[in-house]
Amino acid sequence: MAREKRKYRNPPVVEALCEIYFGDSKWDGTLPGRFYEKIKTDYPKTKELQHIGVEVNVSKEAQASKVHRGDSRLQFFKQDGSQLIQIEKDLLVVNQLRPYPKFEEWKPVVDKMLGIYIELAGPKGIKQIGTRYIDKIIIPELSFRMEDYFCLYPEVPGSLSDRHGRFMMRLEIPVRHKGHNLVITFGTSMPESASTLALLLDIYDIYTSVELLSAVAVDKYIEEAHENIITAFENCITDKTRKLFD
């Protein structure tokens, strides 16, 4: 089906993110501080996450494990918590939380942070781009037919049951843009009130290049990823669900 171009007054997006993987960044201990200096006016809050790994060795004589620290990830938050920027060696992630603006406002933030990362870390190129949208859809009913609200849902044989409870399903969907893979995860979530049910629709587009990409090429693939995600989203829901967002 063709993509429907729609704008919603109350979009269900709880998080959108773009993650960019680089090849051979020039990383050192001063880079996070230099990155922060360039963005601290808009992202004053910081946090460091330390990756912890466990190595297990098994021999006839004994079993031993060793804990080692990996590269750390630095996070920079907007004062209101609506955006965060994450960096580590060969990785940049730009997260947009609620309230979600339109794509045309969020993407320039990705472009700006990409430019700063490349300026400071000087990677040889870009290996992979992940674009992900997580939508939380609140259904104002405690019991409903899935097909009334969704075109994608689990089907249970009538001989087994005429209803089902919590679920989780994951699909990999082919898309028309070459080099992209689309992963859809759909399932129940924690409700926001006792009179509603909540579902998460998580759509993740991954573009992997056989050659290292330049920063100039990234725009095209993020645009294609966004188009793939919108097409998938609109084809997963019905008009009854659309009315919830308007």
Task: List the domain boundaries for the chain.
Answer: 7-24+124-246, 26-123
Q: Which residues contact 140 (CB under 8 A, 6 or more apart)?
A: 195, 196, 244
Q: Look at the block and give the residue holding tokens 């330390």.
A: 50
Q: Which two tokens stand for residue 172?
A: 């990999």
Averaged pLDDT for residues 42-58: 75
DSSP lists the bridge partners of residue 100 as none
Averaged pLDDT for residues 67-71: 56
> pLDDT by residue (tens digit) across 216-245?
889 999 999 999 999 999 999 999 999 999
Alpha helices in 18-58 (DSSP H): 31-39
Model confidence at 126, in pLDDT bands (50, 70, 90)? Answer: very high
Averaged pLDDT for residues 15-19: 98
> pLDDT by residue (tens digit) across 152-208?
988 888 777 777 788 999 999 999 898 999 999 999 999 888 899 999 999 999 999
Residue 55 pLDDT exceeds 80: no
Residue 51 pLDDT exceeds 70: no
Q: Which two tokens stand for residue 68?
A: 């080692």
Residue 138 CB neighbours (<10 A): 14
Give the model's pLDDT for residue 1.
Answer: 42
Model confidence at 53, in pLDDT bands (50, 70, 90)? Answer: very low
> pLDDT by residue (tens digit) across 130-146?
999 999 999 999 888 99
DSSP 192-240: SSTT-EEEEEEEEEEEEEEEEEPHHHHHHHHHHHHHHHHHHHHHHB-HH
Give the model's pLDDT for residue 57.
Answer: 58
